[in-house]
Structure 1
Amino acid sequence: AMLSVAPASPPASVQVMNRKVQSVQAGGNVTFSCRSVTKEDVIQVTWQKETDGAEDNIATYSTLNGQKIAKAYASHVSFAHSQLQASAISLHGVTLHDEGCYKCIFNTFPLGAVTGRMCLKVYAISDPKVETKLILSPDKAEDSEKMVEMSCSATGKPAPKITWHLPSILQQKPREYHMKFSNQTVTVISNFTHTHSKILQEYPITCMIQHPSLNVTLVVPTDSLEQGPDSSVAPAIPIAVGVLLPLTFLLLLSCLLHHRLRHLRDPERNPAWPCWVGLPFLRVLQQS
């Protein structure tokens, strides 16, 4: 006799409603959404995060118990949608620790659990800056030319890319340094030195920082270079004049008061001429 074989029913599955891999900048928000496409009864929906090879429970939803969020996640995780056939959670103020893969698990009866999986990449960028400063020439000779150090830096995850836009007469290869931190961020510093000259002020020099969450072009500041290495000498003249003039006035005033007092005490021996009358050029004026 021929044995009839019933066609196998399609396997239960879960449809991930968002992209399988999402990217978000640190501090932003992200939502994960899943939908069960099985005809079986769903008893409970559970959200988990894969952590060091294990699964960490984030939240659950069931008709009997409603929404439940684990204490470790309650401060920045909420349900965006909660039904037995469809579920979504949102992460608020994402940090670098939120990076990883997540699971939505639909516990069905009688087939058991069906799972959807999605991952999150978190980007971070901070402190993009460019600066210049005058430094001494390596030979440290008194008559040696001043050097200008230009530095461009940023901290991010992944490591930011730094490129310089230089005029053709300044083409050179900058030095680049990388410092890695325990939170997976990397500080990149790119710098070079050049002889201090007007070229640095006449031609625009820019630093471009490229990152998945930020592309910015920074213009090298030249304010600190316009004064030049001898800028400290220029203010000396107005400062000296500003100090000497009041001192001269006070000296003449005290001299006048002193002679006035002497004249009042003994008019015959102390004529009422102020002290500067004794100066040669004033004697000539008196005689004329």
Structure 2
Amino acid sequence: MPPKVGEGVCSPWTFQGLTLCIMSIVFCRIQGAILTNNAEVELGGNATLRCTLTNHQFKTIQVSWQKAINQNFVNMAVYYNETFIADSYKGRINFTIIEVNDTAITFWNVSTQENGCYRCIFNTFPGGAFEGDSCLSVYDNLNTFLHYTVSDGHLNATCLATGFPRPNISWIAPGAEKNEHEIANPNGTVSVTSKILVNTSSSHFGQELICKVTHRGKETDIKVPVKKRGYWYLVPVVITVSVLISVIVVIIVVCCWKRHMKKRRRF
């Protein structure tokens, strides 16, 4: 008796399942057949992104590079018998490897505009398009500055951090009033300014005050040199007393010198 449909290992459903599995495996292999690299570069430097098609069974007809902009990919460079660079990228990028299964583009004098992710596309026959994604991380070294003043019973501290990507500032400053703003600089870097106001007569004053700057996963601590409660009141007093003592000493010296000169004249 012949087997019924749906029974045994030879049923149509079994063949369909095997076919789908084989297609999935082939598809996964094709999708994973491009080797890419990510790159990190300092502002103003040069960087290269590369894609290599490891599947050689199809003929490559065209190679393209696109950039991700607002969740869309925009053409920036194409190789089809000769190279084509989009007008907005001329003088900024160029193909540095052009082979059937290997492509690379180099960015010159990198600006913050180049920061982001890119897609390489190998258009093949008869295999269709193979895509690979790689990202370029642009950075600028961190610069920090701390300024503080004490007047009218208040400590004003300003912490400034400039870099790219945007640095983040936080404070260890109990009881402080804080405000922050940022400025985009012409070269694409970002300057963040954070200010605190501390009442020097409060119970919190005298505790450690720290400006914490986080940039590219690294944390930098900048301490405000507050020693103990009441310290800032003593500073102007000490300065005033020192000045008075200096003036008195000068007056005494001048008086002694004049007295000495008078005695010499008598003789």
TM-score tier by shorter-chain length is: 0.5 to 0.7
Match of 2:219, as an amino acid? N
Deviation at 1:229, TM superposition (A): 2.2
Aligned counterparts of 1:81 and 1:238: Cα–Cα separation in 2? 75
Are the counterparts in 1 of residues 149 and 156 from structure 2 also a CA contact under 8 Å?
Answer: yes
Name 2:215's counterpart in structure 1. Answer: 211
Name the residue aligned to 2:155: 148
Matched, 1:133 2:140: no
- Match in the other structure for 2:37: 18
| Superposition pairs of residues 251-262 of structure 1, within 5 angstroms | none
Q: Distance in 2 between matches of 1:221 and 1:93?
A: 40
From 246, 255, 260, the counterpart of 1:238: 246
Structure 2 contact 122–129 (Cα < 8 Å) conserved: yes
Aligned to 1:266: none
Over residues 207-250 of structure 1, what are the superposed CA-to-partner deviations in whole Å (9 max), with x where a residue is unaligned?
Answer: 32223253111122359959712324523442565488569858
Match of 2:130 in 1: 114
Q: Deviations over 1:226-282 (max 9, x none)?
A: 9712324523442565488569858987x89xxxxxxxxxxxxxxxx94xx5xxxxx
The aligned counterpart of 1:3 is: none
Pairs aligned (count): 233
Residues of 1 paired with 2:247 and 2:97: CA distance? 71
1:49 correspondence with 2:67:
yes
Compare CA radii of gyration and give the structure with the larger one.
1
Partner of 1:177: 180
Among residues 228, 235, 254, which one is paired with 1:228 in the alignment?
A: 235
Give, in whole Å, the separation in 1 of the partners of 2:216 and 2:51. Answer: 26
Alignment of 1:61-76 (within 5 A): 65=82, 73=89
Structure 2: gaps spanning 5 or more residues: 1-18
Q: Quick check: 1:40 aligned with 2:43?
A: no
Residues in 2 aligned to 1:125 and 1:163: alpha-carbon distance in whole angstroms = 21
Q: Quick one: which of 162, 168, 185 aligns to 1:160?
A: 168
Structure 1's unaligned 5+ residue stretches are 1-5, 137-145, 257-272, 278-285
User: Using a 3 Å threshold, how does the CA distance of structure 1 residues 46 and 227 change in structure 2: closer, same or farther?
Assistant: farther
Q: Describe the shift of the 1:219–1:239 C-alpha distance in structure 2 as closer, same or farther (beyond 3 A).
A: same
SS of the aligned residue for 2:246 comes to helix
Displacement after TM superposition at 1:179 (Å): 2.8
Change (3 A) 1:83 1:227: farther
Give me the TM-score of the superposition, normalised by structure 2. 0.61
CA–CA separation in structure 2 for the residues paired with 1:105 and 1:87: 10
Distance 1:252 1:94, change over 3 A: same
> Which residue of structure 2 aligns with residue 260 of structure 1?
none
| Distance change (3 Å), C-alpha of 1:239 and 1:105 | farther
SS of the aligned residue for 2:212 comes to strand
Give the Cα separation in 2 of the matches to 1:82 and 1:196: 70
Structure 1 residue 121 displacement after superposition: 4.8
CA drift of 1:133 comes to: 0.9
CA RMSD between the two structures: 4.6
Does the CA contact (< 8 Å) of 1:132 and 1:221 recur in 2? Answer: no
**CA shift in 2, pair 1:244/1:93, >3 Å:** farther
Q: What's 1:280 paired with?
A: none
Does the CA contact (< 8 Å) of 2:63 and 2:120 recur in 1? yes
* Deviation (angstroms), 1:118: 3.1
| SS of residue in 2 equivalent to 1:172 | coil
Name the amino acid aligned to 2:198.
Answer: T
